[in-house]
Amino acid sequence: MVDQSDSFDFDVVVIGAGFGGITALHKMRQAGLRVRVFESAPSVGGTWYWNRYPGARVDIESLEYSLPFPDLQRDWQWSEKYASQPELLSYMNWVVDRLELRDGIELETRLTSAAFDSEREGWNLVLERAGSAREFTTRYLLLATGFLSVPNVPKIPGLTDFTGEYLHSTAWPETGVNLAGKRVGVLGTAASGVQIIQTVAPTVEHLTVFQRTANWCSPLRNQAMPPEYQKWVHDNYEMIRELEYASPGSGAVLVGNVLNPPKDRVGAGLSREELYEEWELRWRAGGPHLGRSYSDVIRDREVNAHLRDFLSEKIRELVDDPETARKLIPVHPPLTRRPPGDTNYYQTYNRPNVELVDVKADPIDRVVEDGVLLKSGAHHQLDVFVLATGFDAGSGAALSIDIRGRGGLSLSEHWAHGARTQLGLMTSGFPNLFFLNGAQSPGVHFSPPLLGAFQVEYILRVLEELEASGRPVIDVSLESEERWTNIVGDIYGATLIPETDSWWMGANIPGKPRRPVAFAGGFPAYRRYAEEAFDGKLSGYVVGADTPSVSTA
Ligand code: NAP
């Protein structure tokens, strides 16, 4: 690195020890940089440390949802096709030990503020550990703080009056909670809630599910990992990773124990029978693959309506009570929200100890000492109340830190109308600050470990250019982030997604600007944009300049 860096405590400080942070530490150390990772949790793992609620598991195949490091990926044996949270956490600890990264990670240390020092062209950081503040300086700052990491805790009146046990899906006690014989209530019926509900129902005395919005679930069909399948993937990893990176969808190319890369085909013009045949195959294969069947299923109203009918029929078949089935059939078009992959979720409602309560029709009035009271006066007695109410997605983690760029500009001021970035990587006026798997990146529409690996390599190339320029300070122009924000918006705008309230649209957090939080144009397009910016002599970036509104493009 350039000489000036030596006057900083670190070349790079990375915040967060999830997939992104671990990748950054490994690759940046290999590049000879002085890197330190700070993590607020007492463990590495990021989302897989925090989300340890009953039933938490990944719904992209673990063989795909893992770090694409050629020297490592054949050496870990997954026990299940869709790994559970404990196995994912073990995997991440194994990676950290195997790559000898542990000495580069400081746990239980939270970044509280970061201020750009324009004279020294680097960052002054304040971190808190065990109640005391520590200060560090770094040339570059990488926020690998996760797309889905800041919990959404709705302000429900009376929550503090509850005398039973109150839990949030994102902060489950490490020691576990014994739910046997208890009256349990779950608020939230999306990916986290679905996993909790289907897992705890057989153990609890009574389960009350408070549903505001039903979601379209499809079966995961998890199974013990077939050894010959794992071996085949290990033997073919190079080709599989290439296909994943070439995938315009979620980056998953394995479907039902076979390789099934997305084909570029549309559903419009096909008969209902033809569409149903394809969806039936995918329903049986398991995993979140219905959306990958036809590229227009998220755009074409007619094709999407057929998918609605297909899935509605499935719910009616699976749920005994027609009235319960009716409540479980969503109103929004399929795939306009993240569809949960489930394991007997719908069948759970056939159990005599499970009750579905529609809190859109009869909203929660308040929480009381012994349960939940609805507006109608209905009173649901509970021993345990679980909130599975999600996250402030995308921008939430960065905005929870006091970040000040050039001239003291705060990130919350700059993002007052929503996150604005170039490529989800940088934001104007905050030089030398990078986001991994951040807002407006493809993270939540692709595979976060794969995206993180690409972004870290890309950032390293940018840093090399800076080193060569002799002026290691980089910003992005206001025009470039305007352009990227429009691209992100236009891609969602060409689909049915904006019609539905979801965290994809920032609509789950009161007061949050209603805007797409992620790039949904597919990884190949993202890579193209990123490479174009790089090849055009870092176009859209501002190297060594003082005024971020000036573009080199
Ligand atoms: P989410 O998708 O935001 O769902 C939150 C749930 O809480 C929704 O049902 C929501 O209802 C409900 N809710 C929120 N505030 C409420 C309120 N004030 N009153 C009543 N209901 C309220 O959060 P999530 O389930 O944690 O999932 C977030 C994302 O994390 C997923 O989409 C996925 O990307 C990831 N995730 C993945 C997995 C996996 O891989 N298997 C598992 C868990 C999570 P409304 O819909 O009406 O707002």
Bridge partners, residue 13, by sequence: 36, 141
For the chain, give the mean pLDDT. Answer: 94
Q: Ligand 1: does its nearest atom lie under 6 Å from the Cβ of 192?
A: yes
Of residues 309 and 249, which shows the higher confidence score? Answer: 309
Comparing 137 with 1, the larger pLDDT belongs to 137
What residue has token string 């897992």?
199
CB of 59 within 6 A of ligand 1: the answer is yes
Is 343 close to ligand 1, i.e. is its CB under 6 Å away? no
**What is the model's pLDDT at position 134?**
97
| Residue 7 to residue 212: CA distance in whole angstroms | 54
Average pLDDT value for residue range 500-518: 97
- pLDDT attached to residue 550: 32
- pLDDT tens-digit series, residues 309-327: 999 999 999 999 999 999 9
Instruction: Evaluate the CA torsion angle 403, 406, 410, 416 in order and state its sign.
Output: negative
| HEC sequence for 321-341 | CHHHHHHHCCCCCCCCCCCCE
Band of the pLDDT at 548, cuts 50, 70, 90?
very low
Atom index in ligand 1 nearest the CA of residue 191 equals 25
For ligand 1, whether the C-beta of 389 sits within 6 Å is yes
Alpha carbon of 188 to ligand 1 centroid (Å): 6
Is residue 539 very low, low, confident or very high in pLDDT (cuts 50, 70, 90)? low
CA of 189 to the centre of ligand 1 (A): 6
By alpha-carbon position, which residue is closest to atom 32 of ligand 1? Answer: 338
Q: Which sequence spans correspond to the domains of the chain?
A: 10-150+392-471+516-543, 218-339
Mapped onto helix, strand or coil, the DSSP state of residue 454 is helix
Count CB-CB contacts under 10 A for residue 282: 19
Mutate to test the pocket of ligand 1, among 85, 508, 512 (most ligand atoms within 8 A of CB): 508
DSSP H helical ranges for 383-475: 396-399, 411-414, 448-469
- pLDDT tens column, 407-457: 999 999 999 999 999 999 999 999 999 999 999 999 999 999 999 999 999
Q: What is the pLDDT of residues 452-498, one digit of tens each?
A: 999 999 999 999 988 888 889 999 999 999 999 999 999 999 999 99
120 Cβ neighbours under 8 A, 6+ residues apart: 4, 7, 8, 137
With a 6 A CB cut-off, is 388 part of the ligand 1 pocket? yes
Tell me what pLDDT residue 2 has: 43
* Whether the CB of 444 sits within 6 Å of ligand 1: yes
Ligand 1 in contact with 146 (CB < 6 A)? no
340 CA to centre of ligand 1 in angstroms? 10
pLDDT reported for residue 541: 72
Domain over 10-150+392-471+516-543 is classified CATH 3.50.50.60: yes
